[in-house]
Structure 1
Amino acid sequence: MKTVERYKKGVSFHLVTALKYLALTLAGFSCILPFVWVALSSVKPDKEIYSNSFGLPKIWVWSNYKDAWKGAQVAASFLNSIFYSFTSVALLILVAAMASYILARVWTGKILYNFFALGIMIPIHAVIIPMLMILRRLGLVNTRLGIILAYTVAELSFSIFILVAFMKTIPKEIEEAAQIDGSSRLRTFFQIILPISKPGLATIGTFAFINSWNDLLLALVITSGPKLSTLNLACFNLRGLYVQHYGLITAGLMIMMIPVIVIYIFFQEQLVKGITAGAVKS
C-alpha cells in the first residue's frame, strides 16, 4: 500500500511539474511572439507583411533600417533619448538614494515613507496636467531640463520604495564603525552606503532607463519641436496619415528595442538582487 501511495504521489508531482513548465512555456512564447513579428517585419516589404506575417521574408529588405534611420530625424532622436534617459537615471539615483537613506536610517517612521510610497498608486496620467502647469510656470516646457525632471519625478516613488527596503538590510554596525572612526554621515553615505547599495541602485536604474526610453506621453506633452523629440516620438511620427509603412515602423521599433535589451542583459543579475532584497528576513 505504501509503495502504491508513493507511486501516486510521484505521478501527481511530475504531472503538476509538467503543467507548470507548460504554462511557463506558453507564457514565454506569448511574450516573445510580438518581438519575433516585429523583427521579421522589419526586413520585409509592406506587401509581404500582410501576406506572410510570421514566415521568413522572401526578400530581405535591409534598407528599411536605413530609411527609418534617416526618416523623421530618428538619428537625432536616438541621441536625445540616450541623453534624456542616462541623465534622468543619474539624477534619480542620487535623489532617491539620499531620500531612501534618510527614511531607512534617520526618519524611520511610517508616515513619510507611506507618503512617498503612495505615489506608486497614482498613475502618471492623473498628474500630467499639474506637472505641465508647474513646468510652464518655471519656463521648462519644451526644454531638455523639463523632460529630464519629468522622467526623474515619474520614477521617484517606486525607486524610494525599492531602495528603502534594500538599505534596511545593510547592517547598522558598518555605519557605527565608520562613525567611531570619525566619518561624518555624508561621508558614510557616499563612501560606504552607496557602494554597498549597488544592486538596489542597478535595479532602480534599469527600471528607470526602460521606462524613460519607452516613454511617449511625457515627450509628446512636454516637447513640441523635432530637435527635442525622443526616439519613441520619432517612431510614432513614422506612421503615415493614410498609408502605414509597417516596414519602416517596425525597423524603427527594432532600433528602439536594442538598447533596452542590452541594458537588461548587463544588469539582470543586479536587478534580481535588488528586487528580492528585504523579501526574506534573516
Structure 2
Amino acid sequence: MKFNWRHIPLAVISVFALFPMFLLFMNAFKKKSEISKNPLGLPKHWSFDNFSKAWEQGNYDVAYLNTLIITCLTVLFVCIVCGLAAYGMTFLKTPGSGWFLGYLFVSMSMPLGFIPIFFMSIKLNLINTHMGVIIPSVGGAFAFNVFLLRAFMLGIPKDLLEAAKVDGSSTFKTFLAIILPLAKPAFIVVAIFTTLGSWNEIFLSNAILQADTMKTVSVAYLNFTSKYGTNWGLMAAGGVMTVIPMVVLFLTMTKKFVHGLQEGGVKF
C-alpha cells in the first residue's frame, strides 16, 4: 500500500473526531477516584459497575423503549409520506407541483419554530405522547427527504411506469411494485438520516415528554447528568449506552449509505 499525502488531513480529522469517544469509553470503565487521577489514560482496573448503576438510575429500560417506538414510527412515516410526495412530483403531472417544489426548497432554509409547535402540542393534547415528537419530526424532515428521493426517482425510466399503466396497474400499485424496489437505496439513506436525527433529538423531546415514563435516551441522559453530575463514571457509562446503538448502525450500514448517496446524487 503506497503512502498518500492526502490521507494525512483525513487521519488528523479522524483522530480529532474519535478522541472524545475514546475518553468517554475509557472513563466508563473507571471508578470515580481513578477518573480524577487518570482521566486520559486506560483503566487500571476495568469495572462494569458504572453501566449497571447508570442503567438503573437513568431508567434506561423505559428510555430505550420510548426511543425505539418514536424512532421506528418516525422512520416509517417519513418513508411513506416523503416517498409518495416524491413519486407524485416526479411522475404525476399535478398542477402547481413546480411551485410546491420551490416552496420546499425555500422551507429547507427556514428554522423550525419551536414555540408554535409547543403550543400546538398543548392544544392537541400531545404533551407526554409519542406522537407529540413524531409529528414535528416528520414535518421537519419532509422537505430534505423529498428532494433526496426525487433526485433518485428522476433516474428511473418512465417507460417502466407506462408499461405498468398499460398492464392495468394503478398509481399506488405502480409505486409499490416498481418505484419502491428500484428506489430502495434512496429509502435506505432516508431511513438512516431519520434514525440518526430521531435518536439524537433532545430539545423537542425534553419539552414534550415531561413525564419520567416517557423519557427518551437523550433526555434521560440529560436529566441523568443534572442529577448525578459529580460522578463522571456514571455520566460516561450513560453516554456510551446512549450513543452505542447509532455507532453500530453507522458501522453496519456505511456501504449502503454511501451507495444510496452516490445513486441519488446524479440529478436534483
> Would you say same fold, with TM above 0.5?
yes
Q: What are the Cα deviations for residues 166-194 of structure 1, in whole angstroms up to 9, with x where unaligned?
A: 11111111111111111111110111111
Q: CA deviation at 1:240?
A: 4.0
Listed as ranges, the matches of 1:221-260 within 5 Å are 221-240=207-226, 243-260=229-246
- Asked whether the 8 Å contact 2:152–2:265 carries over to 1, the reply is no
Which residue is 1:156 aligned to?
Answer: 142
Distance (Å, rounded) in 2 between the aligned partners of 1:241 and 1:182: 62
Deviations 1:98-153 (A, max 9, x none): 011111122585321121233322233xx111111222222212212212212222
Structure 2 residue aligned with 1:181: 167
TM-fit CA distance, 1:197: 1.1
Contact persistence 1:216–1:233 (CA under 8 A) = yes
- Once the two structures are TM-superposed, the CA of residue 91 in structure 1 deviates from its matched residue by 0.9
Normalization by structure 2: what TM-score? 0.92
What residue number does 1:194 align with? 180
Shift in Å, 1:94? 0.5
Structure 1's unaligned 5+ residue stretches are 1-13
Partners of 1:31 and 1:199 in 2: how far apart? 27
Which residue identity is paired with 1:103?
M
Q: Paired residue for 1:213?
A: 199
Consecutive unaligned residues in structure 2, runs of 5 or more? none
State the match for 1:171 in structure 2. Answer: 157
Count of matched residue positions in the alignment of Structure 1 and Structure 2: 264
Query: What letter corresponds to residue 133 of structure 2 in structure 1?
Result: I
* Percent of residue pairs bearing the same amino acid type: 29
Whether the 8 Å contact between 1:166 and 1:277 is mirrored in structure 2 is yes
Question: Does structure 1 residue 40 correspond to structure 2 residue 26?
Answer: yes
Worse-matched range after superposition: 114-123 or 207-216: 114-123
User: Would the alpha carbon gap of residues 177 and 226 (structure 1) be closer, same or farther in structure 2, given more than 3 Å must change?
Assistant: same
Q: 1:103 aligns with which of 89, 99, 103?
A: 89
1:278, CA displacement in angstroms?
4.1
For residue 135 of structure 1, give the secondary structure of its aligned residue in structure 2: helix
Q: How does 1:262-277 map to 2 (within 5 A)?
A: 262-277=248-263
Of 199-208 and 104-113, more deviation after overlay is shown by 104-113
1:115 aligns with: 103
Deviation of 1:83 after TM superposition, in Å, equals 1.0
- Check 1:107–1:256 CA distance in 2 against 1; reply closer, same or farther (3 A cut): farther
Contact 1:220/1:233, CA 8 A, preserved across alignment: yes
Q: Which amino acid aligns with 1:99?
A: A
User: How has the CA–CA distance of structure 1 residues 130 and 137 changed in structure 2, closer, same or farther, with 3 Å as cutoff?
Assistant: same
Partner of 1:5 in structure 2?
Answer: none
Which moved further from structure 2: 115-124 or 166-175? 115-124
The one-letter amino acid of 1:120's match is M
Tell me, what secondary structure is at the counterpart of 2:149?
A: helix
Tell me which amino acid in the other structure corresponds to 1:59: H
Q: Alpha-carbon deviations, 1:200-240, whole Å to 9, x = none? A: 11101101101110111011111110111101111111124
Q: Give the structure-1-normalised TM-score.
A: 0.88
Task: Compute the displacement of 1:157 (Å).
Answer: 1.8
What corresponds to 1:4 in structure 2? none
